[in-house]
Structure 1
Amino acid sequence: MSPRAPDADVPPGLLLVDKAGGMTSHDVVARARRVLSVRKVGHAGTLDPMATGLLVLGVGAATRLLGYVGGHDKTYEATIRLGQTTVTDDREGEVLATTSAAHLDDVAIRAALAAQTGPLQQVPSSVSAVKVEGRRSYDRVRAGEAVELAPRSVTVHRLDVYRVERPTPELVDVTVTVSCTAGTYIRAIARDAGAALGVGGHLTVLRRTASGPFSVERAAPVEEAGAALAAGGGEGFLPLTQAATTVFPTRTVTAEESRALGYGQRVPATGAAGLHAAVDPEGRLVALLEDAGTTARVAVGFPPA
């Protein structure tokens, strides 16, 4: 067995993981820690255990990017089953009711799903990771408490229906692609569309294909992504500077400005709104900068390793 490497020996960066079904996001983080023998690993937004697809992890100093990466829009591929409701609004929960969807035609189904686009006030599933007075909603439900969550403002930019199938005479499966803001529950779309149609609905398949500028096409299983990081390059790994400049506009700074930023000092303004990735002449990420009047201040610093 190879000796454990200290965190400092592992290059910081983002892992683009193609999560397998049946794993929690915490499971993926724990596995990355074991693969890399590091402690400082985090994720940019959870995926349900049932779900597969893109999960963005940060390693080392790259964990400082995660708060900014997680807020981007997401894209999902999903299958909605009409005719059944479940306690979790997905296939992993106990079936609460079955109502025949045999009478529904494609026009009605598409109309109900079209109504789930645009700005929405969406109530998350009670079996979700939303915190209620400091405890996860799903923990309260499992403890036997009745939980009613407040609606949240989300936006579904696009919901495309690709296929409508009838696995049994009583059920309808609808395959969709959803583009939405962070915090949108695809399970809730299935539940609410089913409720509007009077037959109930839940999610049977969910796969995240994109998060902001990152795509599952560049992702890899967590072990392979971790091996790519350890090797300094490969599928599923983005070094720190590349990760930051993928998310933010780049501002090249001089060596003198780099030193000033390292001391928390300000430099001339970028002249554009929003965060910028400050990169020194050697290609090292120095900081995320944000204009404050005529100067730019350090929002997040990245000291030399």
Structure 2
Amino acid sequence: MAAPGILLVDKPGGITSHDVVARARRALGTRKIGHAGTLDPMATGLLVLGVEGATRLLTFVVGLDKTYEATIRLGVSTDTDDADGEVIAATDASPLASEAISEAIAALTGRISQVPSTYSAIKVDGRRAYDLARAGQDVQLKAREVTVSRFDIVAERRASAGSAARGLAARGEGSAAGGQGSGAGPVASADSGVVDLDVVVDCSSGTYIRSLARDLGAALGVGGHLTALRRTRIGPFDVADAAAIDALADARSVEPAEAAAAVLGRLDVTAEEARDLRHGKRLVGAAERLAADPTAAIDPDGRLVGIVGRRGADVKSTMNMPEEAPR
């Protein structure tokens, strides 16, 4: 049986997150693998997987802040808000001043209201929004409050739409043709200008980078969409520590105690306290020892006892973990 732990994977482009989970299951010889949030097929970067008993920890990972590196194209809109969709509008973006772009980005930073992309995985009456959109149904998603704590421009490039399209084709990236969208629209002429922005975004869980690209383009009056997306961080987990898709069998997972402590902080308990927690007993008067609530209780052997929280002045387990063999 595979050892329980948190497995960090660097997802390549062109496959789904569920494909990654399937490959991990085959590589590790277990069906008990879950994920803490997916990436679109065109996106690359960090996926956090839970293996065996550590799948229970994923509930604490899903809501963590994230970091993305992305490229936004101003001057072209698509129906999916990314490069996998059909072009629906094109406007010459060459007159845009860099100062105007920075001002529009500033307005999309902080606590903002955002409407998710129509082609998102959000469920509407039990069905995914992208399934409804592809079936030609009118999908109206509600705005949600998200936090964008950083939205920085790393590089700005200007080109004609024709040369930009040729550059995409040479790199094998998505384009209007053959995408997931619902219908073709106007295509920018070869002499129309586009502006490509390489950006870094720190944001709360639930933020759609595609929607940021769309809303930035709309605010500037030229339209916009996402041409590249890479997730580099989820909470304390970094893509630099992630395994490649073809190296999952030999990848080192983060042990449950290490992962839980990184996400929640830790409470070191004695062997007797660990036994009491596993038996459902409270640690009387121990609440003052908690730096956070909830937090991870770690026994003297470095094993994760469970997730604990305050009960008045006491501490009680809210999630017991399967007892690991001594190391």
Range into which the TM-score falls when normalised by the shorter chain: over 0.9
Q: Is the 8 A contact 2:149 2:203 kept in 1?
A: yes
- Higher mean alpha-carbon deviation, 177-186 vs 247-256, is at 247-256
Query: Does residue 167 of structure 2 align to residue 148 of structure 1?
Result: no
- Per the alignment, residue 194 of structure 1 pairs with 217
Query: Does residue 282 of structure 2 align to residue 290 of structure 1?
Result: no
Query: Does residue 312 of structure 2 align to residue 303 of structure 1?
Result: no
In the alignment, residue 269 of structure 2 is paired with which amino acid? V
In the alignment, residue 85 of structure 2 is paired with which amino acid? G
Query: Does residue 176 of structure 2 align to residue 184 of structure 1?
Result: no
Structure-2 separation of matches of 1:299 and 1:144: 45
Query: Does residue 295 of structure 2 align to residue 276 of structure 1?
Result: yes
- Higher mean alpha-carbon deviation, 185-194 vs 158-167, is at 158-167
Alignment counterpart, residue 212 of structure 1, candidates 220, 225, 235: 235
In the alignment, residue 160 of structure 1 is paired with which amino acid? D
- Per the alignment, residue 67 of structure 1 pairs with 59
Alignment counterpart, residue 30 of structure 1, candidates 19, 22, 45: 22
Structure 1 position 44, deviation (Å): 0.6
- Per the alignment, residue 231 of structure 1 pairs with none
Q: Is the 8 A contact 1:262 1:303 kept in 2?
A: no
Structure 1 position 46, deviation (Å): 1.1
In the alignment, residue 134 of structure 1 is paired with which amino acid? G
Q: Secondary structure, in 3 states, of the residue corresponding to 1:61?
A: helix
**Residues 28-69 of structure 1, C-alpha deviation per residue, up to 9 Å, x if partnerless?**
111100111101101111111111111100001111110101
After TM superposition, the score normalised by the length of structure 2 is 0.86
Q: Is the 8 A contact 1:16 1:225 kept in 2?
A: no
RMSD: 1.2
Q: Is the 8 A contact 1:251 1:270 kept in 2?
A: no
In the alignment, residue 255 of structure 1 is paired with which amino acid? A
- Per the alignment, residue 256 of structure 1 pairs with 272
Q: Secondary structure, in 3 states, of the residue corresponding to 1:238?
A: coil
Structure 1 position 297, deviation (Å): 1.6
| Count of residues in correspondence between the two structures | 290
Structure 1 position 220, deviation (Å): 1.5
In the alignment, residue 140 of structure 1 is paired with which amino acid? L
Structure-2 separation of matches of 1:243 and 1:225: 18
Structure 1 position 25, deviation (Å): 1.1
After TM superposition, the score normalised by the length of structure 1 is 0.92
- Per the alignment, residue 5 of structure 1 pairs with none
Structure 1 position 284, deviation (Å): 1.1
Structure-1 separation of matches of 2:275 and 2:7: 29
In the alignment, residue 17 of structure 1 is paired with which amino acid? V
Query: Does residue 259 of structure 2 align to residue 243 of structure 1?
Result: yes
Structure 1 position 225, deviation (Å): 3.8
Structure 1 position 206, deviation (Å): 0.5
Q: Secondary structure, in 3 states, of the residue corresponding to 2:254?
A: strand
Structure-2 separation of matches of 1:193 and 1:103: 15
- Higher mean alpha-carbon deviation, 289-298 vs 120-129, is at 289-298
Structure-2 separation of matches of 1:291 and 1:25: 36
Q: Secondary structure, in 3 states, of the residue corresponding to 2:243?
A: coil
**Residues 7-26 of structure 1, C-alpha deviation per residue, up to 9 Å, x if partnerless?**
xx211001111110011111
Structure-2 separation of matches of 1:161 and 1:53: 19
Q: Is the 8 A contact 1:276 1:289 kept in 2?
A: yes
Structure 1 position 223, deviation (Å): 3.7
Query: Does residue 84 of structure 2 align to residue 81 of structure 1?
Result: no
Structure 1 position 167, deviation (Å): 2.7
**Residues 151-178 of structure 1, C-alpha deviation per residue, up to 9 Å, x if partnerless?**
0000100111111101315111011100
Structure 1 position 120, deviation (Å): 0.7
Structure-1 separation of matches of 2:318 and 2:141: 33
Q: Is the 8 A contact 2:9 2:47 kept in 1?
A: yes
- Per the alignment, residue 182 of structure 2 pairs with none
**Residues 66-123 of structure 1, C-alpha deviation per residue, up to 9 Å, x if partnerless?**
0101111101111100001101100000111111101111111111111110111100
Q: Is the 8 A contact 2:287 2:311 kept in 1?
A: no
Structure 1 position 303, deviation (Å): 2.2
Q: Is the 8 A contact 1:219 1:225 kept in 2?
A: no
In the alignment, residue 143 of structure 1 is paired with which amino acid? A
